[in-house]
Homo-oligomer: A and B are copies of this chain.
Protein backbone atom coordinates (compact mmCIF):
# COMPACT_ATOMS: atom_id res chain seq x y z
CA UNK A 1 0.00 0.00 0.00
CA UNK A 2 1.46 3.33 -0.97
CA UNK A 3 1.95 6.02 1.60
CA UNK A 4 -1.13 7.92 2.52
CA UNK A 5 -1.00 11.39 3.91
CA UNK A 6 -3.32 13.49 5.93
CA UNK A 7 -4.01 15.67 2.96
CA UNK A 8 -5.36 12.89 0.90
CA UNK A 9 -8.85 13.53 2.13
CA UNK A 10 -8.87 17.17 1.23
CA UNK A 11 -6.68 17.08 -1.84
CA UNK A 12 -7.16 15.21 -5.06
CA UNK A 13 -10.78 16.11 -5.33
CA UNK A 14 -10.72 15.34 -9.01
CA UNK A 15 -9.22 11.92 -8.39
CA UNK A 16 -11.95 11.08 -6.00
CA UNK A 17 -14.58 12.42 -8.32
CA UNK A 18 -13.25 10.12 -11.00
CA UNK A 19 -13.24 7.19 -8.62
CA UNK A 20 -16.79 8.06 -7.75
CA UNK A 21 -17.80 8.07 -11.39
CA UNK A 22 -16.32 4.60 -11.73
CA UNK A 23 -18.18 3.46 -8.69
CA UNK A 24 -21.41 4.80 -10.11
CA UNK A 25 -20.88 2.89 -13.32
CA UNK A 26 -20.02 -0.23 -11.40
CA UNK A 27 -23.17 -0.03 -9.32
CA UNK A 28 -25.38 1.09 -12.17
CA UNK A 29 -25.97 4.60 -10.93
CA UNK A 30 -26.30 7.29 -13.52
CA UNK A 31 -23.88 10.15 -13.56
CA UNK A 32 -26.02 13.20 -13.20
CA UNK A 33 -24.79 16.72 -12.56
CA UNK A 34 -26.79 16.85 -9.36
CA UNK A 35 -25.27 13.67 -8.07
CA UNK A 36 -21.80 14.87 -8.92
CA UNK A 37 -22.44 18.22 -7.32
CA UNK A 38 -23.70 16.67 -4.13
CA UNK A 39 -20.75 14.37 -3.89
CA UNK A 40 -18.33 17.18 -4.62
CA UNK A 41 -19.88 19.40 -1.99
CA UNK A 42 -19.58 16.59 0.50
CA UNK A 43 -15.95 15.99 -0.43
CA UNK A 44 -15.11 19.62 0.00
CA UNK A 45 -16.81 19.92 3.33
CA UNK A 46 -14.93 18.81 6.37
CA UNK A 47 -17.67 19.47 8.86
CA UNK A 48 -20.09 16.55 8.55
CA UNK A 49 -22.77 18.64 6.92
CA UNK A 50 -26.44 17.86 7.18
CA UNK A 51 -28.52 17.43 4.06
CA UNK A 52 -29.65 21.01 4.42
CA UNK A 53 -26.10 22.34 4.55
CA UNK A 54 -25.11 20.34 1.50
CA UNK A 55 -28.24 21.59 -0.20
CA UNK A 56 -27.33 25.21 0.41
CA UNK A 57 -23.84 24.61 -0.88
CA UNK A 58 -24.89 22.78 -4.01
CA UNK A 59 -27.53 25.35 -4.82
CA UNK A 60 -24.80 27.88 -5.43
CA UNK A 61 -23.88 25.89 -8.51
CA UNK A 62 -27.22 24.32 -9.27
CA UNK A 63 -29.91 26.73 -8.15
CA UNK A 64 -32.63 24.42 -9.34
CA UNK A 65 -31.68 21.42 -7.26
CA UNK A 66 -34.15 20.41 -4.59
CA UNK A 67 -33.53 19.48 -1.01
CA UNK A 68 -35.17 16.16 -1.66
CA UNK A 69 -32.71 15.28 -4.34
CA UNK A 70 -29.88 16.13 -2.00
CA UNK A 71 -31.43 14.00 0.67
CA UNK A 72 -32.01 11.12 -1.66
CA UNK A 73 -28.58 11.40 -3.17
CA UNK A 74 -26.89 11.38 0.21
CA UNK A 75 -28.84 8.28 1.12
CA UNK A 76 -27.75 6.65 -2.10
CA UNK A 77 -24.15 7.60 -1.50
CA UNK A 78 -24.25 6.03 1.91
CA UNK A 79 -25.64 2.83 0.46
CA UNK A 80 -22.85 2.38 -2.02
CA UNK A 81 -20.24 3.27 0.56
CA UNK A 82 -19.27 6.58 -1.05
CA UNK A 83 -20.37 8.50 2.01
CA UNK A 84 -21.23 7.70 5.56
CA UNK A 85 -23.83 8.79 8.00
CA UNK A 86 -22.17 10.21 11.06
CA UNK A 87 -23.36 8.92 14.39
CA UNK A 88 -25.44 12.03 14.71
CA UNK A 89 -27.94 10.27 16.94
CA UNK A 90 -29.78 13.48 17.30
CA UNK A 91 -31.60 15.83 15.05
CA UNK A 92 -30.79 15.78 11.38
CA UNK A 93 -28.52 13.20 9.82
CA UNK A 94 -24.98 14.35 9.23
CA UNK A 95 -22.98 13.06 6.29
CA UNK A 96 -19.34 12.59 5.61
CA UNK A 97 -17.45 11.50 2.52
CA UNK A 98 -14.10 11.52 4.21
CA UNK A 99 -13.20 7.87 4.03
CA UNK A 100 -9.90 8.44 5.69
CA UNK A 101 -9.87 7.03 9.16
CA UNK A 102 -10.70 9.50 11.83
CA UNK A 103 -12.45 9.61 15.15
CA UNK A 104 -15.45 11.21 16.74
CA UNK A 105 -16.16 12.36 20.23
CA UNK A 106 -19.73 13.19 21.11
CA UNK A 107 -20.76 15.16 24.15
CA UNK A 108 -23.68 13.43 25.81
CA UNK A 109 -24.84 16.75 27.14
CA UNK A 110 -24.74 19.23 24.27
CA UNK A 111 -24.57 16.59 21.53
CA UNK A 112 -21.65 18.37 19.94
CA UNK A 113 -19.44 16.18 17.78
CA UNK A 114 -15.74 16.81 18.03
CA UNK A 115 -13.44 15.35 15.45
CA UNK A 116 -10.03 14.21 16.43
CA UNK A 117 -7.36 12.06 15.01
CA UNK A 118 -5.15 9.59 16.74
CA UNK A 119 -2.69 7.64 14.65
CA UNK A 120 -3.01 4.48 16.66
CA UNK A 121 -6.74 4.31 15.98
CA UNK A 122 -6.13 4.22 12.26
CA UNK A 123 -4.25 1.01 12.54
CA UNK A 124 -6.90 -1.08 14.22
CA UNK A 125 -6.82 -4.52 12.79
CA UNK A 126 -10.08 -6.28 12.15
CA UNK A 127 -9.73 -10.00 12.41
CA UNK A 128 -11.13 -11.93 9.48
CA UNK A 129 -13.36 -14.10 11.56
CA UNK A 130 -14.72 -11.28 13.64
CA UNK A 131 -17.49 -10.52 11.19
CA UNK A 132 -17.76 -13.44 8.84
CA UNK A 133 -19.04 -12.53 5.41
CA UNK A 134 -19.01 -8.83 6.07
CA UNK A 135 -17.09 -6.19 4.17
CA UNK A 136 -15.78 -3.43 6.36
CA UNK A 137 -15.67 -0.12 4.52
CA UNK A 138 -14.86 2.15 7.37
CA UNK A 139 -13.59 2.08 10.89
CA UNK A 140 -14.29 4.80 13.41
CA UNK A 141 -13.46 5.09 17.04
CA UNK A 142 -16.38 6.67 18.75
CA UNK A 143 -16.03 8.28 22.15
CA UNK A 144 -18.75 9.72 24.34
CA UNK A 145 -18.60 11.85 27.42
CA UNK A 146 -18.64 15.45 28.56
CA UNK A 147 -16.97 18.04 26.41
CA UNK A 148 -14.90 20.82 27.88
CA UNK A 149 -17.84 23.21 27.82
CA UNK A 150 -20.22 20.85 29.59
CA UNK A 151 -17.62 19.62 32.01
CA UNK A 152 -18.82 21.76 34.88
CA UNK A 153 -22.54 21.82 34.31
CA UNK A 154 -23.01 18.15 35.08
CA UNK A 155 -21.38 18.51 38.41
CA UNK A 156 -23.76 21.22 39.54
Residues of A within 8 A of B (CB): 27, 78-81, 84-90, 93, 105, 107-109, 114, 116, 118, 120-121, 124-127, 130-148, 151, 154
Contact B142 A142, beta carbon cutoff 8 Å: yes
Contact B133 A143, beta carbon cutoff 8 Å: no
Residues in B whose Cβ lies below 8 Å from that of A126: 118, 143
- The quantity of this chain's copies bound in the complex is 2
Residues in B whose Cβ lies below 8 Å from that of A141: 124, 139-142
User: Which residue of the partner chain B has the closest CB to A132?
Assistant: B148
Q: In the bound complex, how far is the Cα of B79 from the Cα of A146, in angstroms?
A: 9
Q: In the bound complex, how far is the Cα of B142 from the Cα of A16, in angstroms?
A: 24
Residues in B whose Cβ lies below 8 Å from that of A145: 81, 134-138
Residues in B whose Cβ lies below 8 Å from that of A125: 120
